[in-house]
Structure 1
Amino acid sequence: MSKATIAMIAAAGAATGAAATAAFYSMRKDAPISPAATTTTTTTVSTPTRSGPPAPVAISPAVPKRVSPPLVDPNGLFQYGFPGPVADLRPAAALTSSYDRRTRNPAWVAEHITPASVAIKDADRKNSIFAEDFSIPEKFRAKLKDYFRSGYDRGHQAPAGDAQWSQEAMDETFLLSNMCPQVGNGFNRDYWAYFEDFCRRLTGKYPSVRIVTGPLYLPHKEPDGKWRVSYEVIGDPPNVAVPTHFYKVIFAEDGGVGGKVALGAFVLPNARISNDKPLSDFEVPIEAVERASGLEFATKLPEARRKRLCQEISCSVLVREYKDRQKAFLSSDRSRSPTPGR
């Protein structure tokens, strides 16, 4: 999907949201304000006579208002459990993620890389294996068999290459709760890998880089002129949704307290992408990612601290040198698993 299409979706959502908000506040403003309920106490005073003491003051007690019990109690359902939605939050050494039980994919995965973290090479992906995340209830869990002969790679959201500073940290990136089905040739093993390398290279300029990655399920316009969301589901029985797109939101920090943050938001289709495609073609407003994902990323970051990443640096991928390393990684993965993934 092009930047123009995503921006159009964002704008449409903004218009709808603004109309709803305006209607809500208009209703609140015009609605009459009901006076607060008051309790009246009646006091009767007798006129004193000259021949005796004043008559006692008689106070009538307030009569409590009878309140009828509600006809229904929808919240009574919660005695049996809260339906949800439930997001499984998983904090780990190299990442923090929120798992979407409906799609069997993470909703978002946050990671942090620094010049020091990417310089350490104490882990080897040959020692890591793909594994199911047993912290997720079995009926909501993505399973290894779902990917078997599916035609899709098990695509890391937080890449293993960002966790080479610890074998344990790298192992955690191989749990399926950090995976989504991704097109292999031309995407997961190529352009997406170059994009991940681009993020690591940011540490050459910025002392702290924070990245949020996740799947999207975007609508497409069909021949009848209507927009629909359609995606494949893999597994037998069908279990794991195949995203139509993926996003990355990047926070490149200058390292100072209250300093500037270079923001970049990108949306890539889950499809083959030509190596000569400029990365800047996939840059979108951060609001477009928020409306498409239902998430918010920078609500506490003031506009005064924000910069646009692609105005600060050249947003481009390197293909040649990195591709040779990827082929070596993939050959080791193929020898250990029926379905390659990064």
Structure 2
Amino acid sequence: MSKATFAIIAAAGAATGAAATAAFFSTKKEAPPTITTTTTTTTATPTPRSAPPPAFPTTPTSYTAAQKALVDPNGIFQYGFPGPVADLRPAASLTSSYDRRTRNPAWVAEHITPQSLAANNADRKHSVFVEDVSVPEMFRAKLKDYFRSGYDRGHQVPAADAKWSQEAMDDTFALTNMCPQVGNGFNRDYWAHFEDFCRRLTKTYPSVRVVTGPLYLPKKEADGKWRVSYEVIGTPPNVAVPTHFYKVIFAEDGKPGGKVALGAFVLPNAVISNSKPLVDFEVPVEVVERASGLEFANKLEPARRKRLCQDVQCSLLIKEYAQRQKSFGNNQD
């Protein structure tokens, strides 16, 4: 992905909302180019070259034993490992990696199938939001952080995807599966319809894997410089409010070594009209990787990849939120 591409996605930052984000994403409708490898032999006239710069950093073997004895940077480990530490949480219905700095997950992965969605052995009204005690208290997102914050406790793996057991549904209510999300117009509307789209993919694919998480994207300010700016909630304020959210979808054909329809989407954490086409938010997976610092498909061979929105129609089925809530109780976030 070129620097220009990343600059454009950055331009669609938090303050610009859905319209500017969609303006960039709508330019990404073409299929990813096919990568071919060619070998070309050319004869070039040698040009004078200066001596190559010294290798950096210098390898430890270049130091003498006496020099090595002068300092011991690794001695700091006698007092503990500074980090960063990714709190990995494998649960029945999800696996997540928690970011202690933002008090948000970095990513949360789930697996849905026609069979898992057909099972109905849980009731959302029996689940409660809980702090994740596996995270040290000083780095933990707390229930009081969201109180009167103006944001929903936004599921990254939705409770509706884990109806196959009460324990599985309860797992989705830990705060390590939550991010602050705009409620009306996003979490309770467009984002909920997007989650429903992911579930409906199981009508076409026997296995669907989804990775969801927050992004903190820069925007260009009046002085021409790019800055990342996001709200922080809580007491003390330490839970970051993401500017955007992503989903990376792996729709599998169910065959060993089979094809995978890959789709990536980035949505602003803002009110989005239900009339906005979902494909306006489609991006190459490399855009999400570069923005998040994560890798999602580096082991998925190009020969096995398909583009999700070329394989199926990427569109939302709009349902009234109040009607949906009748199925899942009155817990709105």
Tell me how far apart the structure 1 counterparts of residues 65 and 94 of structure 2 sit (CA, whole Å): 53
CA drift of 1:242 comes to 0.2
Tell me how far apart the structure 1 counterparts of residues 161 and 240 of structure 2 sit (CA, whole Å): 25
Deviation string, structure 1 residues 208-239 (Cα, Å, up to 9, x no partner): 00000000000011111111100000012102
Distance 1:253 1:115, change over 3 A: same
Tell me how far apart the structure 1 counterparts of residues 97 and 140 of structure 2 sit (CA, whole Å): 13
Tell me how far apart the structure 2 counterparts of residues 80 and 272 of structure 1 sit (CA, whole Å): 47
Deviation string, structure 1 residues 95-126 (Cα, Å, up to 9, x no partner): 00000000000000000000000011110100
Tell me how far apart the structure 1 counterparts of residues 108 and 117 of structure 2 sit (CA, whole Å): 18
Tell me how far apart the structure 2 counterparts of residues 326 and 253 of structure 1 sit (CA, whole Å): 27
Deviation string, structure 1 residues 222-278 (Cα, Å, up to 9, x no partner): 111111100000012102000000000000000011100000000000000000000
CA drift of 1:28 comes to 12
Tell me how far apart the structure 1 counterparts of residues 51 and 91 of structure 2 sit (CA, whole Å): 45
Q: Which residue of 1 aligns with 2:260?
A: 261
3-state DSSP of counterpart to 1:118: helix
Tell me how far apart the structure 2 counterparts of residues 252 and 234 of structure 1 sit (CA, whole Å): 35
Distance 1:210 1:79, change over 3 A: same
- Asked whether the 8 Å contact 1:3–1:284 carries over to 2, the reply is no
In the TM superposition, 1:106-117 aligns within 5 A as: 106-117=105-116
CA drift of 1:6 comes to 7.2
Give the letter aligned to residue 195 of structure 2.
Answer: E
**1:67 and 2:65 aligned:** yes
Distance 1:161 1:74, change over 3 A: same
Tell me how far apart the structure 2 counterparts of residues 163 and 235 of structure 1 sit (CA, whole Å): 28
Higher relative contact order (CA 8 A, sep 6+): 2
Q: Which residue of 1 aligns with 2:147?
A: 148
- Asked whether the 8 Å contact 1:211–1:250 carries over to 2, the reply is yes
CA drift of 1:80 comes to 1.0
Unaligned runs of 5+ in 1: 9-25, 38-65, 334-339
- Asked whether the 8 Å contact 1:216–1:292 carries over to 2, the reply is yes
Give the letter aligned to residue 68 of structure 1.
Answer: A
Which of 308, 320, 323 lines up with 2:321 in the alignment?
A: 323
Unaligned runs of 5+ in 2: 1-11, 13-20, 28-48, 56-60
Q: Which residue of 2 aligns with 1:332?
A: 330
3-state DSSP of counterpart to 2:263: strand
CA drift of 1:326 comes to 3.0
- Asked whether the 8 Å contact 2:253–2:259 carries over to 1, the reply is yes
Tell me how far apart the structure 2 counterparts of residues 308 and 102 of structure 1 sit (CA, whole Å): 34
Give the letter aligned to residue 260 of structure 1.
Answer: K
- Asked whether the 8 Å contact 1:98–1:109 carries over to 2, the reply is yes
CA drift of 1:323 comes to 3.1
Q: Which residue of 2 aligns with 1:42?
A: none
**1:201 and 2:206 aligned:** no
Deviation string, structure 1 residues 63-98 (Cα, Å, up to 9, x no partner): xxx831522111111111110100000000000000
- Asked whether the 8 Å contact 1:7–1:285 carries over to 2, the reply is no
Give the letter aligned to residue 326 of structure 1.
Answer: R
**1:138 and 2:142 aligned:** no
CA drift of 1:330 comes to 7.8
3-state DSSP of counterpart to 2:209: strand
Q: Which residue of 2 aligns with 1:96?
A: 95
3-state DSSP of counterpart to 2:247: strand
> How many aligned residue pairs are there?
286
Tell me how far apart the structure 2 counterparts of residues 205 and 127 of structure 1 sit (CA, whole Å): 31
Tell me how far apart the structure 2 counterparts of residues 212 and 7 of structure 1 sit (CA, whole Å): 22
- Asked whether the 8 Å contact 2:215–2:243 carries over to 1, the reply is yes
- Asked whether the 8 Å contact 1:3–1:281 carries over to 2, the reply is yes
3-state DSSP of counterpart to 1:68: helix
Q: Which residue of 1 aligns with 2:188?
A: 189
Tell me how far apart the structure 2 counterparts of residues 283 and 232 of structure 1 sit (CA, whole Å): 25
| Structure 1 segments (4+ residues) deviating >6 Å | 26-30
- Asked whether the 8 Å contact 1:7–1:288 carries over to 2, the reply is no
Q: Which residue of 2 aligns with 1:76?
A: 75
In the TM superposition, 1:143-292 aligns within 5 A as: 143-292=142-291
CA drift of 1:327 comes to 4.0
3-state DSSP of counterpart to 1:76: helix
CA drift of 1:4 comes to 6.3
- Asked whether the 8 Å contact 1:6–1:288 carries over to 2, the reply is no
Give the letter aligned to residue 326 of structure 2.
Answer: A
Q: Which residue of 1 aligns with 2:38?
A: none
3-state DSSP of counterpart to 2:107: strand
CA drift of 1:332 comes to 1.6
Give the letter aligned to residue 102 of structure 1.
Answer: R
Deviation string, structure 1 residues 35-80 (Cα, Å, up to 9, x no partner): xx9xxxxxxxxxxxxxxxxxxxxxxxxxxxx831522111111111
Tell me how far apart the structure 2 counterparts of residues 161 and 89 of structure 1 sit (CA, whole Å): 22
Q: Percent identity?
A: 73
CA drift of 1:30 comes to 7.0
